[in-house]
Amino acid sequence: MLQQLSYHPSVIVYTIVLRLYGQVGKLNLAEEIFLEMLDTGCEPDEVACGTMLCSYARWGRHKSMLSFYSAVKERGIILSVAVFNFMLSSLQKKSLHREAVLVWRDMVRNGVVPNYFTYTVVISSLVKEGLHIDAFETFDEMKNRGFVPEESTYNSLINLNAKNENRDQVQRLYDDMRFHGVTPSNYTCATLISLYYRYEDYSRVLSLFSEMARNKIPADEVIYGLLIRVYGKLGLYDDACKTFEKIKYEGLLTNEKTYLAMSQVHLASGNVDKALEVIGLMKSKNLHFSRFAYIVLLQCYVMKENVVSAEGTFLALCKTELPDAGSYNDMLRLYVRLNLMNKAKEFIAQIRKDGTQFDEELYRTVMKVYCKEGMLPEAEQLTNQMVKHESLKNCKFFQTFYWILCEHKEDVQIDDKLVTTKPTDKLDTTALGMMLRVYLTNNNFSKTKMLLKLLLGCAGGSNIVCHFIISLTKDGEIRKAESLNHQLITPGCRMEEVTAASLISHYGNQHMLKQAEDIFAEYVNSPTYSKLFYNSMIDAYAKCGKQDKAYLLYKQATEEGHDLGAVGISIAVNALTNQGKHREAENIISHSLEGNLKLDTVAYNTFIKSMLEAGKLHFASSIFERMCTNGITPSIQTYNTMISVYGKYQKLDRAVEMFNKACSLGVPLDEKAYMNLIGYYGKAGMIDKASQLFSKMQEEGIKPGKISYNIMIYVYANAGVHHEVEKLFQAMQREGCLPDSSTYLSLVQAYTKSLNYSKAEETIYAMQSKGISPSCAHFNILLSAFINAGMIDEAKRVYVGISTFGLIPDLICYRTILKGYLKYGLVEEGINFFESIHKSTKGDRFVMSVAVHLYKSAGMESQANEILSLMNKMRIPFLKKLEVGSAKRVKVP
């Protein structure tokens, strides 16, 4: 420049040239010009130096920039805020946050006043450099100077506090952000939602998501994934499914975590097939299958009780690294649940060999196996090993095991003292129950007795004992159950009334009457035992088929002045009704009503049902009226029974009245109530009424099940309206109700009544293809139709075809064919048929009477008289009015 110009340039000219070179990236030339400027004795000012620094910053020459900056500082030149901003921004972009912080501190020392941009860049670098206190101080300074931080600044500080679990500070920052009108980004929202989720603050998650929707902040897959988890935690299963389908539709479904979140929601709702379907979808997308994915898949197979798949998944999990205690526990619980105890024991040995870190849940499951299998030494050894685990230090379950199995292992002589040395509130009843099992298995009766006393002294302990005995009987370990039962009826061991009653009820359900009687005999004289105890024994007698004993105990209790209440009366009446002792049942009912005993809805329902079965329509009706008069609210079961009362005795108007009364009182009518009345409409031939009520039921939101479809199909079939039957047949299949034998029976009947015999026959064959075997009843409908239509040859053809279905014709089929031969005068064929079947129909009045008529018509008097003589000996009345050839036969071409 000096060679080309005849004058000496000023610093301004050099600065312009420096800027031009800097803008086009000619930094080498810029450096040469700067050195030339120095050589000529032209002193660079803050603008020239700033221009050079900005050029370095612009083109990412940070090493040169910082070196030049050091030289500038030595000259005492104070740069402008714009230059500092340029430098800070460039350093931050290259993640040189430490250098950015040093520059910032120089700026502060030199008294350069930061602007909005400076604060924004510096706060980000301070956060990323881990200078959190400085970051917050700078943030506060920024706000004190009147600057409103931008969203990214709030975001970096919110992220920082969220990582440090500082929820209050996060919330304050977010509230301040919203107060200043700053709209949060989806990244900020994701941080907040994640924090709320970790602390189970689900209401805030949903509130923030709603706020995002209002402000049109787009949610990303991370947010949707967290939302799915929240919906799952709150039991909002449908919302979780809709959200998952939405992100799948929008193409946002790319992350394994989202798939697994949805899968876990399905698992929590018990829908394991859906959970597996989601994981299958994830696999089809070739997404990475992480360790966590194997854990969730294992949980699916455990819930599905698929041992082979669970074992395969567990092995795949092991290949990633040793499973955690939770996965070991999932696998072990599966073996225990399926009673695969040998596998469970082998698996526990592997767990201990692998040196797995036990948690409380895994320890519980392992001890359950050891105790159930009577593995006392193994239980003691494991408990001794676990004593040093800090996680079990305050675990009552573990401490109870340790106290008995280890601390007092040899204290056989002082078992009675042990009962009083440990406060019962310090003991875990579940642990005591498990030890009771292991000592019982090992025939240690001293320890068994001690544990029984401990348990019965604990709150809820007697319930544990009861459930344990029930479990033993279910597992078929009757000897152990009887041993415990014997100890319970010895002095010093007393159960609570509720527990004793529960045990008696269980024995009744299992038909173990002697054990129930033993418990009852031991406790019956206790002054504290009341109607619950008596009622459980009466019910046990009834369930064991000893209705007489049930009635006798009821009478004995009431004569002794015990008030057995509505429940006891109901049990007694129900027992007598089931045995057909309607008079005795009626006596109890009458006595209860006359004595104005306090009865509940169940008792009244039992009374009405009993009298319905006894044929006492008027009495059943009066009981219902008494119930209403006494202010006892009828239940849906009451109305159902009353509809049956009136329907059975063809008082359809009263049945309809009952139905309408239930509707008017707001009783939520169920499917059974509708179908009960529809069935009676059908029997009365009122097809339109039945159809209207069926439609109304569906309009009320009640979805018909298979039984309902079958009833309605039968109503139409009985009237021969085959097109309506076909519609319902198709509808039930669309709704997932598979037709059964009864459905096809009605379908065959509909076709025969409408004279569509070929369709009827096709339907029977179609059954076979659907895996439903036809019965003789299906064929008999077709046989009867052909006989009534005079198509005897067709009937014979169908009859012969019955055997091709692996069926042997029943008595009804025999009668139908014989009726045809008789009706159309086919005497010889009829006699041959009778002689081929007579050994299978001995004693049937119709068959023998037809044979007599046929033999007489053929002039075979001796054979006819022989059958008549046999009928007289068997006291079977002869049907005289039968007539040979009473109708004309129709020939089928």
Residue 273 pLDDT: 92
Tell me the three state secondary structure of residue 494.
coil
- Residue 418 pLDDT > 60, yes or no? no
DSSP character string of 688-723: HHHHHHHHHHHHTT----HHHHHHHHHHHHHTT-HH
- Residue 491 pLDDT > 60, yes or no? no
Averaged over 478-495, what is the pLDDT? 65
Q: How far is CA 550 from CA 536, 544, 557, 577, 583, in A?
A: 10, 10, 11, 12, 16
Least confident of 1-10, 22-31, 457-466: 1-10
Buried b (16+ CB within 10 A) or exposed e, 877-891: eeeeebebeeeeeee
Number of residues in the chain: 893
- Residue 850 pLDDT > 60, yes or no? yes
Residue 615 pLDDT: 82
Distance CA 105, CA 93 (A): 18
Residue 298 pLDDT: 94
Q: Which residue would you say has higher pLDDT here, 780 or 631?
A: 780
**Tokens in use for 290?**
């992480």
Distance CA 455, CA 495 (A): 10
Residue 484 pLDDT: 72
Distance CA 658, CA 597 (A): 26
Distance CA 653, CA 178 (A): 68
Which letter does DSSP use for residue 406 in this model?
Answer: I
Spatial CA neighbour of 675 closest among 696, 657, 694: 694
DSSP character string of 735-763: TT----HHHHHHHHHHHHHTT-HHHHHHH
- Residue 417 pLDDT > 60, yes or no? no
Residue 853 pLDDT: 93
Q: Which helix (H) or strand (E) holds 270?
A: none
Least confident of 8-22, 155-169, 674-688: 8-22
Residue 851 pLDDT: 92
Spatial CA neighbour of 59 closest among 27, 95, 19, 36: 27
Residue 888 pLDDT: 60
Tell me the three state secondary structure of residue 130.
coil
Residue 681 pLDDT: 86
Q: Is residue 755 within 8 Å of 790, Cβ to Cβ? A: no
Distance CA 686, CA 681 (A): 5
Distance CA 395, CA 120 (A): 51
**Tokens in use for 494?**
């007393």
Residues 778, 779, 783, 786, Cα dihedral to 10°? 80
Q: Which residue would you say has higher pLDDT here, 278 or 662?
A: 278
- Residue 889 pLDDT > 60, yes or no? no
Residue 578 pLDDT: 83
Residue 780 pLDDT: 93
Confidence category of residue 422, pLDDT binned at 50, 70, 90: low
Residue 820 pLDDT: 92
Return the top range by mean pLDDT from 300-304, 388-392, 593-597, 687-691.
300-304
The domain spans of the chain are 799-873
In terms of Cβ atoms closer than 10 Å to its own Cβ (0-12, 13-18, 19+), residue 106 is middle
- Residue 653 pLDDT > 80, yes or no? yes
Tens-digit pLDDT profile for residues 562-579? 778 888 888 888 888 888
Q: Which residue would you say has higher pLDDT here, 855 or 9?
A: 855
- Residue 545 pLDDT > 60, yes or no? yes
Tens-digit pLDDT profile for residues 47-105? 777 777 787 778 777 787 787 777 777 777 878 888 888 888 888 888 888 888 888 88
Q: Which residue would you say has higher pLDDT here, 504 or 406?
A: 504
Q: Which residues, including other chains, have CB under 8 Å from residue 524's CB and lie 6 or more apart?
A: 533
Tens-digit pLDDT profile for residues 249-267? 888 888 999 999 999 999 9
In terms of Cβ atoms closer than 10 Å to its own Cβ (0-12, 13-18, 19+), residue 311 is middle
Confidence category of residue 414, pLDDT binned at 50, 70, 90: very low
Confidence category of residue 420, pLDDT binned at 50, 70, 90: very low
Q: How far is CA 1 from CA 125, 494, 743, 882, in A?
A: 42, 114, 108, 142
Distance CA 262, CA 238 (A): 11
Cα angle, residue 572 at apex, residues 571 and 578 outer, rounded to 5° = 90
Spatial CA neighbour of 624 closest among 598, 651, 645: 645
Q: How many CB atoms lie within 10 A of CB 815?
A: 18
Residue 797 pLDDT: 92
Distance CA 159, CA 2 (A): 57
- Residue 892 pLDDT > 70, yes or no? no
Distance CA 573, CA 588 (A): 7
Tens-digit pLDDT profile for residues 695-738? 888 888 888 888 888 899 899 888 888 899 899 989 888 888 88
- Residue 43 pLDDT > 60, yes or no? yes
Indicate the average pLDDT of the chain: 83
Spatial CA neighbour of 766 closest among 787, 791, 785, 739: 739
Distance CA 110, CA 611 (A): 104
Averaged over 24-37, what is the pLDDT? 72
Q: Which residue type does 139 have?
A: F
Share of the chain above pLDDT 90, in %: 20
Expressed in percent and rounded to 5, the helix, strand and coil fractions of the chain are 75, 0, 25
Residue 596, Ramachandran bin (φ over 0: left; ψ between -120 and 50: alpha; else beta) = left
Averaged over 544-559, what is the pLDDT? 84
- Residue 413 pLDDT > 50, yes or no? no
Distance CA 577, CA 558 (A): 19
- Residue 652 pLDDT > 90, yes or no? no
**Tokens in use for 832?**
């041959």
Q: Which helix (H) or strand (E) holds 770?
A: none
Residue 45 pLDDT: 73
Return the top range by mean pLDDT from 296-300, 648-652, 887-891.
296-300
Least confident of 500-509, 583-592, 751-760, 818-827: 500-509
